[in-house]
Amino acid sequence: MSPSGATPVGRSVPHESAPLHVSGKAQYIDDLPEMAGTLHAAPGLSTCARGRIRAMDLSAVRAYPGVRCVLTAADIPGENNCGPILHDDPIITGDLVEFYGQVIFVVAAETREAARQAARLARVEYAAEPPILDMDSAIAAESWVLPPFVMTRGAVEQAFENAPHRLSGAARLGGQEHFYLEGQISCAVPRESDTIHVFCSTQHPTEMQQMVAHALGWRSHQVSVECRRMGGGFGGKESQSAQWACLAALLAVKTGHPVKLRLDRDDDMVATGKRHPYQYRWESAFDDAGRILGLRLEMASDCGYSADLSGPVNDRTICHIDNAYYLDAVALRSLRCKTNRVSNTAFRGFGGPQGMFVIETVLDDIARHLGLDALAVREANFYDVVPGARSTTPYGMTVEDNVAPALVAQLADASDYGARRAAILAFNASSPVIKRGLALTPVKFGISFNATHYNQAGALVHVYTDGTVLVSHGGTEMGQGLYTKVRQIVAHEFGLPLEDVRLSSTDTSRVANTSATAASSGTDLNGKAAQAACQHIKARLAAFVVELVQGAVAAEQVRFVDARVQAGEASAPLFDDSFAALVMRAYRARIQLWDAGFYRTPKIHFDPQTKLGRPFYYFAYGAAASEVAIDTLTGECRVLRVDVLHDAGRSINPALDIGQIEGGFIQGMGWLTSEELWWRPDGPQAGRLMSHAPSTYKIPTATDLPDVFNVRLFDNANVEDSIHRSKAVGEPPFMLALSVFMALRDAVAAALPAGQSPRLEAPATPEAVLRALGCLAPEDGA
């Protein structure tokens, strides 16, 4: 138990499942004991990127030993769709094939091995058509999943006419595989009276509930979805888990048996969406200090074959092209390209990183053009600290909490940026092969869902007669520590030790109409909802105490601390009893000891048509200074040192937050350096993903960590009334890794003629570095 009067909020307590994680006792869906008669499913995937199925012979599939059921699109009794917004994403495609790896049938067998072997026996004849496999081809064909969006803010033409300097440029940015440790998995269990319970590794149980109901032709109250924990999500289990949940449920209802569908890693990477790749063209107008006066920007995203979440992803990109910088005049064209690749989806940052990437590249080029230090140019473009003339974003929101200038200045001083910059210049002048680079970049990331209606949450809190507490809420745990923080919040409210509070699995039959655990808002929303439920219960208990002392104290004088309830003066309380004893007395007095809590984020509004409003409750800030070295002969790079200062508000759990910062940074570093997705560009297997396993797709390992990695939290209470004045920390640290890429550009530039901007594409693989150095020919396509 914590020291007398100490609160669990603000303390670095271990993750609530940490002992289970390290001992192997944490139960994920594949660890749950299988019910008798459980069948195992495997999908049959297309081997054509675009075309129509002329003939499909599944007789060998059905005849394979152990196979119990095979379903095609014709066997779906309800709606054949798993698209979260537009109904353009079939659970099982019919005769139209739109990407290599699309589900064309599904098998259920007595063992997983039998199902997978049987799925390979299908004989399919295609009428193939030329696929669109890159953004340039999509733009030329005007192939869109959603119409282009055009936005103009400010006097753009006038800004360009009057600006002393102009510059243009282009860039490409690759996608990213989620590479969660636990792949996509669902286990559907049919129950009585046409009901079904689905154990699903998902960030969005309510959406899974709705999709399964639609696929079965049922209603929501016939379906319940449960998730205790995921082995990682990163956005890849927000909408993309629906297809696999639906397939498992369809097979379970058809066979009358529980059905588990766990994708093989290769199939998972081929058949599920990824971070959207982007490409950009821009023109900038700026003054002698590098301050941007006008910006024309065209950005295209590869959405894949269907819309999925590409609309809101691109909207969030639009809302982050400013990052921490004031843009007075902007002309923007956003293209949402339809290609014959898997439909891309949510990924940590949800389009925000792609917006920040382009503005950081623009500023980097401006600094090099003017011969100025890039940090000085970035600082010259910051929003005003006190809201004024330079405080309104391109989407019309006033920045009221800008701590970026102070945070960046503090990090520049702590990381010894100035002296290291001079040392690196001296090193590069004397080193013909190894070149070093340094960059310090900020992050300003908006917290809330752009879709305003998702900014709500519910929680259910039960207080039992022995004084222990059970909490259910709508958020899902994917390793980020949401359950731990909610546990701390509830323990704080009741003045209890953490061991007296337990979190139950997230289940749509307990808390309904939940929002996805996404947009970094899990603790903000569910923590507030749980707090509200606790406060309802506390109010009744406090009123009961007042009744017990016959009105000698006011309810406001009742305190819950150290597992006791006291009223009156602390030195001589009129009432003092253990929490458990008071709860038992309240039960006997027929006082309600459970309650539901609800929270809706205040102040926010956003028009999805005009892209104007206040989409975010507040901003989370951070900055990172990264030093790198490249080998100009091989293109290899190393990250030598990283210094991070991040704004988590009044942190609920500093240890968890620092862990999120470290993990987010390394994941972002992988996106920008080593994680390259590659599809065959032509031939009979055109459109086939070849980087579909750890052997060909390289996430960072322990050896890729910088030798020096300093992470600190910035001392800054949230100006808004967030839960305990904390700030979200799930997504913002990911974008701190932009400092690594900008440092690599700095190192490449050191090997080029003075003033020449490097044409370095992301990810900055050794081949990309060599191309930027002019040692390899440019690569065609994306």
In the prediction, which pLDDT does 781 show?
41
pLDDT score, position 777: 75
Return the pLDDT at 694.
94
Parallel, antiparallel or unpaired: strands 96-97 and 292-302: unpaired
DSSP 376: H
What does the pLDDT read at residue 571? 87
Q: Do 297 and 331 touch, CB atoms closer than 8 A?
A: yes
DSSP for 201-267 reads --S-HHHHHHHHHHHHT--GGGEEEEES--S--TTTTTSTHHHHHHHHHHHHHHHSS-EEEE--HHH
pLDDT of residue 286: 98
> Where does 38-188 have alpha helices with state H?
59-63, 112-119, 135-141, 156-162
What's the whole-model pTM score?
A: 0.97
Q: Decide: 531 and 457 in contact? Cβ < 8 Å.
A: no
Q: For residue 5, what pLDDT is reported?
A: 57
Quick: pLDDT tens for 402-421.
999 999 999 999 999 999 99
Amino acid at residue number 730: G
Tokens 């009432």: give the residue. Answer: 575
CA 552 to chain centroid, in Å, comes to 52
Q: Counting runs of H as helices and runs of E as strands, what totals does the chain give?
A: 19, 29
The DSSP call for residue 718 is: -
Give the 3-state secondary structure of residue 677: coil
| Burial classification of residue 3, based on how many CB atoms lie within 10 Å of its CB (0-12 exposed, 13-18 middle, 19 or more buried) | exposed
Residues 544 and 553: their CA atoms lie apart, in Å, by 11
Which has the closest alpha carbon to 242: 271, 269, 285?
271
Low-confidence ranges of the chain (pLDDT < 70): 1-5, 779-782
User: Looking at residue 778, what is its pLDDT?
Assistant: 75
Listed in sequence order, the residues at least 6 apart from 148 whose beta carbon sits closer than 8 Å to its beta carbon are: 333, 334, 335, 336
Q: What angle separates helix 654-673 from helix 738-750, to the nearest 10 degrees?
A: 40
Catalytic one of 16, 493, 675, 731:
731
Residue corresponding to tokens 């309380």: 573
Cα dist from 429 to 302, 721, 751, whole Å: 40, 51, 10
Phi, psi of 190 (to 5 degrees): -70, 145
110 is catalytic: no
